[in-house]
């Protein structure tokens, strides 16, 4: 008996065989992937802004060079992910238009300001740490181009995280004022980082279907728990205090109990009302508009070349 397209697709998912761009896939699977991958790409691009803010003010030439290449890596991840999303039939222009109109989301975390140099350490340590926790399982996501993109992205992210931890360690071993800067940055970034994993499973409309299709390999709450369990010992090693009075080791579950995230703050930021949402979006729109002449020139150049080759 001939199998239906849907049966072939389901069989591949069940047997952990990757779905590739030219394979048949349910329309909703395609839509979910375009949503998640484009949102991920936008996060990388918008994510360059908070750190970019410190490139000119890094405390040494060495720190400046390291930060410059980290931010450049993020641009690379963004472009890589836009390409992965394009294999699903959308265009980069469409995705960028959706970001600029506010229709497409990007990670809530990048709507917080970077107030001191310690924030650059905290972003590398915590934000890249959360990104790795979330993205390593995506190496096994069911869509081939996304899974393959994650391999290189995760290698670079793990380097970024060490970079952040090293900044934090230098500050924590420094003068009392430096240690205090590190603690203050930790206080400001801890809770927003926990929000990166998305709403609680009970409030997450996409998790169930995405788990069934093996787009997501773990739920939001599972990854958030793993992240807390990984970070608490690292904070202790640095001599920093986790800003959560409810944090407590739970022997039975072999993990930490921790306080509830401020979900009102989360949704407020997601809806566009965080401390930097307007700045971030207007910086992206401005960069796009100011780059119009480059795109026009590149197009004219390509057309001229094609004409010459046709002669």
Binding site for ligand FAQ (CB under 6 A): 35-36, 39-40, 43-44, 47, 74, 105, 107-108, 123, 127-128, 131, 134, 195-199, 204-207, 210, 220, 270
Q: Which is nearer to ligand FAQ, 8 or 83 (CB)?
A: 83
> Whole-number minimum distance, CB 173 to ligand FAQ, in Å?
24
- What residues pair up with 255 in beta bridges, in sequence order? 250
> Whole-number minimum distance, CB 106 to ligand FAQ, in Å?
7
Q: What is the 3-state secondary structure (H, E, C) of 250-293?
A: ECCCCEEECCCCCHHHHHHHHHHHCCCHHHHHHHHHHHHHHCHH
Residue nearest to ligand FAQ (CB): 47
Contact 104, 40 (CB under 8 A): no
C-alpha–C-alpha distance, residues 209 and 159, integer Å: 32
> Whole-number minimum distance, CB 73 to ligand FAQ, in Å?
9
Task: Give the contacts of 268 (CB within 8 A, at least 6 positions apart).
Answer: 274
Q: Which is nearer to ligand FAQ, 84 or 235 (CB)?
A: 84
Q: Which is nearer to ligand FAQ, 22 or 103 (CB)?
A: 103
> Whole-number minimum distance, CB 170 to ligand FAQ, in Å?
19
Q: Which is nearer to ligand FAQ, 74 or 238 (CB)?
A: 74
Contact 261, 197 (CB under 8 A): no
The gap from C-alpha 289 to its chain's centroid, in whole angstroms, comes to 24
> Whole-number minimum distance, CB 195 to ligand FAQ, in Å?
5
Q: Which is nearer to ligand FAQ, 52 or 243 (CB)?
A: 52
Locate the DSSP E strands across the chain.
248-250, 255-257
């Amino acid at each position: 008996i001939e199998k239906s397209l849907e049966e072939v697709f389901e069989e591949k998912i069940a047997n952990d065989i990757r779905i590739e761009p030219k394979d048949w896939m349910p329309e909703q699977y395609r839509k979910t992937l375009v949503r998640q991958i484009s949102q991920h790409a936008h996060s990388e691009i918008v994510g360059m802004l908070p750190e970019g803010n410190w490139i000119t003010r890094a405390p040494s030439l060495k720190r400046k060079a390291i930060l410059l290449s980290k931010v450049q890596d993020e641009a690379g991840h963004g472009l890589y992910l836009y390409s992965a999303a394009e294999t699903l039939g959308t265009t980069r222009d469409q995705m960028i238009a959706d970001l600029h109109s506010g229709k497409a989301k990007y990670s809530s975390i990048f709507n917080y300001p970077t107030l001191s140099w310690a924030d650059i350490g905290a972003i590398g340590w915590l934000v890249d740490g959360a990104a790795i926790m979330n993205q390593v399982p995506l190496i096994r996501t069911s869509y081939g181009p996304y899974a393959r993109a994650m391999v290189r992205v995760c290698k670079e992210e793990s380097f970024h995280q060490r970079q952040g931890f090293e900044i934090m360690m230098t500050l924590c071993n420094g003068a009392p004022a430096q240690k205090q800067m590190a603690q203050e940055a930790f206080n400001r970034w801890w809770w927003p980082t926990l929000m990166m994993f998305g709403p609680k499973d009970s409030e997450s409309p996409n998790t169930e279907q995405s788990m069934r299709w093996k787009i997501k390999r773990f739920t939001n709450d599972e990854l958030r728990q793993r992240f807390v369990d990984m970070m608490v010992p690292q904070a202790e090693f640095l001599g920093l205090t986790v800003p959560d009075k409810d944090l407590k080791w739970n022997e039975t579950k072999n993990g930490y109990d921790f306080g509830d995230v401020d979900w009102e703050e989360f949704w407020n930021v997601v809806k566009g009302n965080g401390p930097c949402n307007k700045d971030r979006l207007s910086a992206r729109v401005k960069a796009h508009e100011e780059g119009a002449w480059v795109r026009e020139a590149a197009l004219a150049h390509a057309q001229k070349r094609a004409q010459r080759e046709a002669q």
